[in-house]
Structure 1
Amino acid sequence: MSRLDPLDHLSVFLEVARFKSFRAAADSLGVTPGAVSQAIASLERRVELPLFHRTTRHVSLTDEGQFLLQQISPAIDTIGSALEELSQWSRQPTGTLRLIIEPVAAKHVFEPVLPMLREGWPGLRLDVTVAEVHSNFA
């Protein structure tokens, strides 16, 4: 983890602060406790201050660690929300949907749902042709 950027170190910091445990943070992140320890040490070297009080059985934030937690929590929440919203975009249909609709269906079926389609799937472009279609579906 020593090659991680500061945002990765802050993610580790948040997990240790949340669990008050290097091992639980490591389990949550899917890394080793040693990797968590290295990330915290790197962050502490960067700010030149200890962020945690450590004993063999207890981890707690220093005043500086508490300050950092209070300062970064709103930003991390905003980043998390943005990432969640972006992941929703990937699950929505995009592209062009071409439809040929009979006039009666267009007026009574399609028109009422058109606003919901546009709102629910903003990445979907609709190409609608309203025409009399006579087809033999035998």
Structure 2
Amino acid sequence: MKQNFTVRQGALDGVEAFLSVAQHRSFRKAAGELGVTPSAISQAVRALEERVGAVLFIRTTRSVGLTEAGERFLTRAKPAFEELVAASALARELGQRPAGLLRLTVPPAVVPILLEPLIASFCQAFPEIEVEIAANEELVDIAADGFDAGIRLGQFIAADMVAVRLTPSFPLVVVGSPEYLRRRGWPERIDDLRQHACIRMRRSNGSIAPWSFVIGKKPIEAVVSGPLIAHDFPTMLGATIGDMGLAQVPEPIAAGPVKAGKLVRVLEVFEPVAPGVFLYYPSRHQVMPKLRAFIDHVKSRADAADKTRIHIDDRQTPATKMR
């Protein structure tokens, strides 16, 4: 039969007093070490003896010694109490300076684009922090699963989370390879997708995500079909580059292949705008120094990128900006 064990309230009361008396063999010296009166030490030890159910010290007017029960209690209590003090010191240290293991849950697609340069500079700035990245498309409970923070698209973050922006807003783009578009033709309207092979994404809840568009300012969703269902954006992108069909992905993920000529954007006039990518965590009141250091690092990098972008824009002529 399974038994339930709990630590009784006040179970550790008097243990520190007992250990000090046992070390010094003196109530007066123990009181001096702990900064209390000898009477307070005597009361604490007496209360401990009552809870234990045995006399721990032999007291005379000239000396203090341990009983057999006291010797056994000392043998087990001393290393346990020292371990508890060490654990408290370690926890206090982690609560006062950036150190320890920082665990982040992130979508696989953002690792090479966003996290790799960010993590490299962060680890260089904070060598006492170890960073663990769990790449997973599923939305996990970061508190229940032991993560310090997560990174996700803004629309997938719960309202009770604190969110820190990592990227500006960006469009969701439909892309296809030049070979696929040569073979199947360019879609010019959303309805044209009915005649195309569309690579789709299965959400973490099991449903297949529709494609999102805007007509004017009105958002709409289109249910598409095709030969492949993926669970992450990199798989979708690889299949699209491999001429399997069209895919709708965040613009930053497709930017490299588009620039290299491996993919082409279509239906641009109907592209919706996603809020961007955010770092999120449960509460401002629970932020450890290691996470605070990462948040500040993220913000400083974002501020530097904004200043660089503004500087470049200021150097452009009006004609350049219009192109």
Match of 1:87 in 2: 92
User: Do residues 122 (structure 1) and 127 (structure 2) align?
Assistant: no
C-alpha distance 44-112 of structure 1, shift in aligned 2 (>3 A): closer
How far apart are residue 117 of structure 1 and its match?
5.8
Match of 2:48 in 1: 43
TM-score (norm 2): 0.33
C-alpha distance 114-75 of structure 1, shift in aligned 2 (>3 A): same
Question: Partners in 2 of 1:48 and 1:117 — Cα distance?
Answer: 46
Q: Larger deviation: 39-48 or 57-66?
A: 39-48
Match of 2:77 in 1: 72
C-alpha distance 112-73 of structure 1, shift in aligned 2 (>3 A): closer
Question: Partners in 2 of 1:28 and 1:117 — Cα distance?
Answer: 34
Question: Partners in 2 of 1:56 and 1:9 — Cα distance?
Answer: 22
| CA RMSD in angstroms, aligned pairs only | 3.2
Q: Which amino acid aligns with 2:26?
A: S
Tell me how many residue pairs correspond in the alignment. Answer: 120
Q: Which amino acid aligns with 1:23?
A: R
3-state SS in 2 of match to 1:122? helix
C-alpha distance 113-50 of structure 1, shift in aligned 2 (>3 A): same
Higher relative contact order structure (alpha carbons within 8 Å, sequence separation ≥ 6) = 2
CA displacement, residues 33-88 of structure 1 (integer Å, 9 cap, x when unaligned)? 01111111112222232111111121111111010011112221221111101211
C-alpha distance 117-48 of structure 1, shift in aligned 2 (>3 A): closer
C-alpha distance 114-57 of structure 1, shift in aligned 2 (>3 A): same
Question: Partners in 1 of 2:97 and 2:123 — Cα distance?
Answer: 21
User: Larger Cα Rg: Structure 1 or Structure 2?
Assistant: 2
Q: Which amino acid aligns with 1:122?
A: K
3-state SS in 1 of match to 2:55? coil
2:63 corresponds, among 55, 58, 62, to: 58
How far apart are residue 19 of structure 1 and its match?
1.1
3-state SS in 2 of match to 1:8? coil
1:113 corresponds, among 124, 127, 141, to: 124
Task: Name structure 2 gaps, 5 residues minimum.
Answer: 1-8, 100-116, 131-288, 312-323
C-alpha distance 112-37 of structure 1, shift in aligned 2 (>3 A): closer
C-alpha distance 15-58 of structure 1, shift in aligned 2 (>3 A): same
Task: Name structure 1 gaps, 5 residues minimum.
Answer: 95-105
How far apart are residue 23 of structure 1 and its match?
0.5
C-alpha distance 51-122 of structure 1, shift in aligned 2 (>3 A): same
User: Do residues 29 (structure 1) and 40 (structure 2) align?
Assistant: no
Q: Which amino acid aligns with 1:44?
A: E
Q: Greater strand share, 1 or 2?
A: 2
How far apart are residue 112 of structure 1 and its match?
7.8
Identity of aligned residues (%): 36
Q: Which amino acid aligns with 2:65?
A: S
Question: Partners in 1 of 2:83 and 2:44 — Cα distance?
Answer: 23
